[in-house]
A and B are shown apart, each in its own frame.
Chain A
Amino acid sequence: MTLLNVERVSKSFAGVTVLREVSFDIQAGEVLALVGENGAGKSTVLSLITGLLTPDSGTIRYDGEPVRAWSPHRARAAGVASVHQELSLNPHQSVAENVFLGAWPSRYGLVRQGDLVARARPLLERVGLDVDPRTPAGRLPLGAQQLVELAKALTADPRLLILDEATSALDDDQVRAVFRVVDDLRERGRSVVIVSHRMGELLTVSDRLTVLKDGEVMATRRRDETDHDDLVRLMVGRELSDLFPAKAAPDSPQADPVLRAAGLSIPGACAGVDLELRPGRIIGLGGLQGQGQREVLRALFGLRHHSGQTEVDGRPRRLASPREAIRRGIAYVPEDRKTEGLHVVRSVRANLALPSLRVLAPARALTTVSRRRENELVEELIRRMQVKTASPAQEVRRLSGGNQQKVALAKWLPARPRVLLLAEPTRGIDVGTKREIYHLLRELADEGMAVLVTSGDTMELVGLCDEVLVMYEGAVVERLAGAELTEERLVHASVVGHSTAEETSRA
């Protein structure tokens, strides 16, 4: 039985066509993946299904009936639930309260905490989340919060569940928990639409995959008829063999470290971390999610209080604030680009110029910002990074995720930082932009920059980095480089929490 039927649907915004005669369908008890680069039209399709947007032409049938006056409210009432990459949890309310937000079970108008908690437990268990339902949601790591979102979507027992990049913040264990939920829904005749940039996941979990490119459906394939390369070819219209650039020659003479940390510790986050960042090298911080990788980066950029030694160019330097870190030539591209990395409601120009104002408005000009030099700088950066923006005056939030990330990175370049710290540099970004960013990072390293990257994507760490430090419960448990740097070794150390070498010596 067909649950949802999208027939020749088109949509345009301000004269720009974003969907052209898109057709696909979802059967009851089926998992359908929507695949495509950023800007291919996936979000628009999902917004049409959830009632946030109405199509310009074409029809959407739900349960056999053409939908009329479709709205988010009606869609929800008809059994459509969705989980997005962007979190909608209220950080100050408990997990249980968030799960039932808007539909708190009550008796005589009173919400009973105990009742709420008891009802939340089985839902949390179902999504594989072992937390106290009374914990404030904001205290949980990002991945766990995402699972709370999923539990929230499951409260209404949806007939159609939409997972929009809902796994991008999750580690492998958590992803498996999500897939168990998906399998369970499928068995009970429910349907799931899943959007993800992690192709491997989609090939595991979905029954069929619909590929979108530039607002058109390129193909819909059964899972057993396709593979990774086939999908990428459909998505980008070309082979993508050189995703990762060549690495630094392993036996090349190593320069002295620019930034060195010894015994870096943050209570409750990491302990005794030693690392050395050298010009020309890209170092990765791997491990399961939330093992302290993020905190190490934040400490090095002066955003977290920490103890331990930090040296820049061999001299002890305190990195107590971002301004001090920036003065020492350290730049940081945070994982949370929408709150920390960018001023999303400001223009591309304002964002790109902000860290360079000291140059654009020197003291001898009475700190007046030179418009001319600002425009030159901004245009140069947009050209160099190939940021796709209507104009430099465009608000950053109107850009696609990949272009936002380019801006968050580009704004540091004029200051010529010597150390670049990046957290999850390609999360939620399409494969074409990923490739651009990998090549740019290598280019910067070759020019003499030292790069430190955290990532939950094993393939990315192995493909991009010269050396990967694996973190487990706040400590570095393994250092992999050269031929030892393989996905197997990396995953093993991440999960087991000690190095493979130790294990063989013990055996």
Chain B
Amino acid sequence: MMASTIRGALRDNRALWAFGVLALTWLAAIIFAQGFNSVASVHYLVQTASFLGIVAVGQTLVVMMSGIDLSVSAVVALSAVVCAQVSAGSGGAVAILTALAVSVLVGLVNAAGLIWLRLPPMVMTLATGTVIAGALLIYTNGSPRSAQIPLLDSLANGSVAGIPLATILWLAIAAAAVWLLHLSRLGRYAFALGTSEPASRASGVPVPVTTFVMYAACALLAGVAGLVLLGFTGTSSLTMGNPYQLLSIASVVLGGTSILGGRGHLLGTVAGALLLTLLTALLVAWNLSEGLRQVSLGLLIIVLLLVYARERRTT
């Protein structure tokens, strides 16, 4: 009886699994690999994880309502490129605000396409992503600028009490997202939409408002990630967002959230992003070639999904 209760709790709480697997992997890394036992390595890991983590938090909001955002990689680049471009003429503050506003706009366009054109999220967001990528090419003539914006620089590279500012920002964002998704009315609507759209409509769930807020928030967070990255590297590029596209979705799913929506916890995504960053670092530490690294990461993701994040068969 006791055992089955525990098993049931574990099955229903895949976010907890994500933290467990993260802890085990970390432990294994400290024991079996070199260089994972120092404070500096932890510092570096949580700092790099926060770029992916911020994008993944946004992705969670959308996946939970049974959507998906494939424009995040383009928005990361968009926000960084726009910020770098604008800051040259009008200064840092204006540049940051412009970049964030443009990012939110992309989210609103995504939501509008889903609601009014009734396009499937995968198609709509992929299309906006493609449009943005092309538009950026035109806007920058193929050569985006570098920019030194002090605020972004300290945000990305600075620390408070030994904790990277980027990580603090990430955790603050995650806390706000936990409220939005798990404590607020809108979050309940997102969960309801994620489990059944017809039932949600027939229960009076405000589908448009929920969609607009969640997609705008997702795009905003991709924009924030782009800015932090700009501060981190000091330069913008057209492809800087690419790694975050699929890894953000992988973080969500490894965090125990159902890719079909309606089930999971946002904190799982935090563990998922840390786990993926840690795995990448491990593969680097083992001196695998870039190709082998990608192959192994892909296989590891599959294995982990099989261990605890498989979709339930519905009966």
Using CB atoms and an 8 Å cutoff, list the residues of chain A in contact with chain B: 14-15, 301, 303, 322-323, 326, 332, 334, 339-346, 350, 353-355, 357-358, 360-361, 366-369, 411
Binds A, one of B56-64, B151-159, B178-186: B178-186
Task: Please list 6 pairs of residues, one from A and one from B, whose beta carbons are closer than 8 Å in the complex, sorted by A's number.
Answer: A340-B202, A357-B189, A361-B185, A367-B185, A368-B183, A369-B185
Contact B204 A326 (CB under 8 A): yes
Q: For residue B196, which residue of chain A has the nearest CB? A: A343
- Given known pairs A334-B202, A368-B184, the reply for A346 and B189 (CB within 8 Å) is no
Chain B residues contacting A323 (CB-CB under 8 Å) are 204, 206
Q: How far is the CA of A345 from the CA of B201 in the complex (A)?
A: 16
Decide yes or no whether B192 CB sits under 8 A from chain A: yes
Contact B199 A367 (CB under 8 A): no
Q: How far is the CA of A353 from the CA of B201 in the complex (A)?
A: 15
Within the complex, which residue of B1, B185, B191, B204 is in contact with A346, where a contact is CB–CB below 8 Å?
Answer: B191
Q: For residue B260, which residue of chain A has the nearest CB? A: A345
Total count of chain B residues near the partner, CB < 8 A:
25
- Across the A-B interface, how many residue pairs have beta carbons closer than 8 Å? 71
Q: How far is the CA of A369 from the CA of B202 in the complex (A)?
A: 21
Chain B residues contacting A345 (CB-CB under 8 Å) are 195-196, 262-263, 314
Q: How far is the CA of A6 from the CA of B1 in the complex (A)?
A: 30
Query: Which 3 residue pairs are nearest across A and B when measured between Cβ atoms?
Result: A361-B185, A367-B185, A326-B204
Q: How far is the CA of A303 from the CA of B196 in the complex (A)?
A: 16
Contact B185 A332 (CB under 8 A): no
Q: How far is the CA of A346 from the CA of B188 in the complex (A)?
A: 11
Contact B184 A354 (CB under 8 A): no
Chain A residues contacting B199 (CB-CB under 8 Å) are 339-343
Q: For residue B187, which residue of chain A has the nearest CB? A: A369
Q: How far is the CA of A361 from the CA of B196 in the complex (A)?
A: 21
Contact B184 A355 (CB under 8 A): no
Chain B residues contacting A15 (CB-CB under 8 Å) are 1
Shortest CB distance B173–A (Å): 17
Chain B residues contacting A14 (CB-CB under 8 Å) are 4
Chain A residues contacting B263 (CB-CB under 8 Å) are 345
Decide yes or no whether B200 CB sits under 8 A from chain A: yes
Within the complex, which residue of B189, B198, B206 is in contact with A339, where a contact is CB–CB below 8 Å?
Answer: B198
| Given A354-B188, A368-B185, 6 more pairs with CB closer than 8 A | A322-B202, A322-B203, A343-B262, A344-B196, A358-B185, A360-B185
Q: For residue A334, which residue of chain B has the nearest CB? A: B202
Q: For residue B312, which residue of chain A has the nearest CB? A: A345
Q: For residue A337, which residue of chain B has the nearest CB? A: B199
Q: How far is the CA of A299 from the CA of B297 in the complex (A)?
A: 52
Chain A residues contacting B205 (CB-CB under 8 Å) are 354
Within the complex, which residue of B1, B192, B198 is in contact with A350, where a contact is CB–CB below 8 Å?
Answer: B192
Chain B residues contacting A355 (CB-CB under 8 Å) are 203-204
Kindly name the residue among A15, A345, A358, A368 whose own CB sees the greatest number of chain B CB atoms within 10 A.
A345
- Given known pairs A322-B204, A345-B195, A346-B262, the reply for A369 and B189 (CB within 8 Å) is no
Chain B residues contacting A334 (CB-CB under 8 Å) are 202
Shortest CB distance B259–A (Å): 15
Q: How far is the CA of A354 from the CA of B191 in the complex (A)?
A: 10
Contact A369 B183 (CB under 8 A): yes
Interface flags for B186-221 (1: CB within 8 Å of A; 0: not) read 101101100110111111111000000000000000
Shortest CB distance A331–B (Å): 9
Q: How far is the CA of A355 from the CA of B205 in the complex (A)?
A: 8
Q: How far is the CA of A448 from the CA of B162 in the complex (A)?
A: 65
Q: For residue B180, which residue of chain A has the nearest CB? A: A367
Within the complex, which residue of A303, A354, A360 is in contact with B192, where a contact is CB–CB below 8 Å?
Answer: A354
Contact B202 A332 (CB under 8 A): yes
Chain A residues contacting B195 (CB-CB under 8 Å) are 343, 345-346
Contact A353 B188 (CB under 8 A): yes
Q: How far is the CA of A354 from the CA of B183 in the complex (A)?
A: 13
Q: How far is the CA of A350 from the CA of B191 in the complex (A)?
A: 9
Chain A residues contacting B200 (CB-CB under 8 Å) are 343, 354
Q: How far is the CA of A334 from the CA of B203 in the complex (A)?
A: 11
Shortest CB distance B116–A (Å): 14
Chain A residues contacting B185 (CB-CB under 8 Å) are 357-358, 360-361, 367-369
Contact B202 A357 (CB under 8 A): no
Q: How far is the CA of A303 from the CA of B199 in the complex (A)?
A: 12
Q: How far is the CA of A358 from the CA of B186 in the complex (A)?
A: 10
Q: How far is the CA of A303 from the CA of B201 in the complex (A)?
A: 9
